[in-house]
Amino acid sequence: MGTKMKRKMWLALDKETKKLRVETTANQDPLVTKGANFIPLLGIDVWEHAYYLQ
């Protein structure tokens, strides 16, 4: 998955389906903005500053 925007990627557990999901949120928004059904397990910063060399 490629992204050039300011985002966070989340590995989350969907409480309804009991399955793992990968979700993205914009501008450092928390996962709760996607709904209350997700339990965040891992959040990864994929903003450009997180991986571009100076």
- Which of 49, 47, 34 shows the shortest CA–CA distance to 13? 34
Domains, the chain: 7-50 (3.55.40.20)
CA 19 to chain CA centroid, nearest Å: 16
CB hemisphere CA count around 30 (13 angstroms): 6
Threshold 0.85, pTM exceeds: no
d(CA 30, CA 19): 20
- Tell whether the torsion through CA atoms of 7, 50, 42 and 21 is positive or negative: positive
pLDDT digits (tens, 9 = 90+) for 11-43: 999 999 999 999 999 887 888 988 899 999 999
What's the pLDDT at 10?
A: 93
Structure token digits, residue 37: 């059904």
